[in-house]
């Protein structure tokens, strides 16, 4: 009992928060490219925060459910339908055995996350269920999902969640084709003159088609360096902004290599990484420098926002509290039957 992949979509993989602690051995961290949407999808179902989900890219999969469960979707709007009827994003949805979930092409953003109340039966490899397609490990057979794949459910008990009607959030993210990306300078910003730094911070850059889970190449004004941008290879964090010899920035993402030999003019702050992951080709980006203290403050504010979301979905909905709304709904149900 679980899910059958009728169509795999463009690039659908199993992801969690990533495979940490092995970069010194050359293994990619991987994990969800948009950690915010990943967390929200699990939050809507009271799943463990690191529970594995499906990450869908640009064109989503078609899935048949072979048992009843509850699902939730977050991220870009892929215009989901269950049995050819439109269903909302950011809401817990009950599905029955035989139901068909179809995700179309992304109307906004480029990534969508599907969480499952019954969890996915995916083996843990080096502490993570994330798919590393480069190394061919983790996830479902170390690869993207293909037509005909079948994934078992890990538990069979979670077919009901309390406050079910309240498990929805009014979020409309990634609608704009422009984004301000906040960065912390360095660690090799001293390799760029003031003119190069000004170009980086004052220019508009365009997302190119060189965009995958490893990174995204931007097009725009040339960023001048002092004496070239080659360095002795060192570690690359999620969101590092490299500037190779051609002077155009590359933002490194979740499947990035563990080390690299180009100077990093800045690093994208954690709360803005989802904005990068959800960009589309030809979207516009401009950078704004902030302090480490500001970045830390923004992380704390985001955690408070997540707590507010939890509080919101863990309370009776107004339809239950308002007697008139309840009576109206009951009348409608009697008339339908």
pLDDT classification of 252: cutoffs 50, 70, 90: very high
Strand partners, 93: 71
Does residue 99 contact residue 129 with C-beta atoms inside 8 Å?
no
Question: Is 90 exceeded by the pLDDT of residue 336?
Answer: no
Condensed to tens digits (0 to 9), the pLDDT of residues 181-224 reads 999 999 999 999 999 999 999 999 999 999 999 999 999 999 99
Residues 6+ apart with CB under 8 A from 145: 5, 8, 9, 12, 13, 14, 54, 61
Instruction: Please state which of the ranges 42-46, 124-128, 274-278, 313-317 shows the lowest mean pLDDT.
Output: 313-317
Question: Is 60 exceeded by the pLDDT of residue 124?
Answer: yes
Cα 311 from Cα 313, distance rounded (Å): 6
Instruction: Please state which of the ranges 34-48, 79-93, 316-330 shows the lowest mean pLDDT.
Output: 316-330
Instruction: Specify the pLDDT at position 159.
Output: 74
Instruction: Specify the pLDDT at position 316.
Output: 84
Does residue 245 contact residue 228 with C-beta atoms inside 8 Å?
yes
Mean pLDDT (whole number) for 121-141: 96
Question: Is 70 exceeded by the pLDDT of residue 333?
Answer: no
Does residue 137 contact residue 130 with C-beta atoms inside 8 Å?
no
Instruction: Specify the pLDDT at position 185.
Output: 96
Condensed to tens digits (0 to 9), the pLDDT of residues 20-56 reads 999 999 999 999 999 999 999 999 999 999 999 999 9
């Amino acid at each position: 009992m679980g899910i059958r992949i009728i169509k795999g979509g463009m690039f659908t993989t199993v992801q969690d928060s990533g495979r940490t602690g092995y970069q010194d051995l050359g293994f990619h961290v991987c994990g969800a490219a948009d950690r915010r949407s990943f967390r929200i999808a699990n939050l809507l179902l009271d799943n463990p925060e690191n529970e594995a989900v499906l990450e869908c890219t640009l064109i989503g999969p078609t899935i048949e459910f072979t048992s009843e469960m509850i699902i939730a979707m977050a991220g870009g709007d892929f215009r989901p339908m269950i049995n050819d009827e439109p269903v909302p994003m950011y809401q817990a949805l009950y599905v029955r055995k035989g139901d068909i979930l179809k995700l179309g092409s992304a109307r906004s953003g480029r990534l969508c996350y599907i969480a499952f109340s019954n969890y996915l039966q995916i083996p843990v490899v080096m502490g993570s269920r994330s798919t590393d397609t480069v190394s061919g490990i983790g996830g479902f057979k170390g690869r993207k999902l293909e037509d005909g794949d079948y994934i078992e459910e890990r538990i069979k008990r979670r077919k009901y969640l309390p406050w079910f009607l309240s498990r929805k959030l009014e979020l409309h993210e990634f609608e704009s084709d422009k984004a301000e990306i906040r960065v912390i300078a360095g660690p090799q910003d001293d390799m760029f003159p003031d003119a190069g730094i000004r170009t980086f911070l004052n220019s508009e850059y365009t997302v190119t088609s060189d965009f995958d889970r490893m990174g995204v190449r931007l097009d725009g004004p040339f960023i001048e360096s002092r004496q070239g941008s080659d360095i002795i290879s060192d570690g690359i964090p999620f969101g590092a902004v490299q500037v190779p010899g051609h002077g155009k920035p590359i933002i490194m993402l979740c499947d990035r290599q563990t080390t690299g030999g180009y100077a990093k003019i800045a690093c994208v702050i954690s709360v803005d990484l989802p904005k990068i992951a959800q960009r589309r080709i030809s979207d516009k980006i401009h950078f704004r420098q902030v302090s480490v203290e500001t970045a830390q403050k923004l992380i704390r504010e985001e955690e408070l926002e997540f707590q507010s979301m939890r509080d919101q979905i863990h309370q009776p909905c107004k339809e239950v509290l308002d007697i008139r709304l309840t009576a109206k709904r009951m009348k409608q149900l009697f008339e339908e039957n």
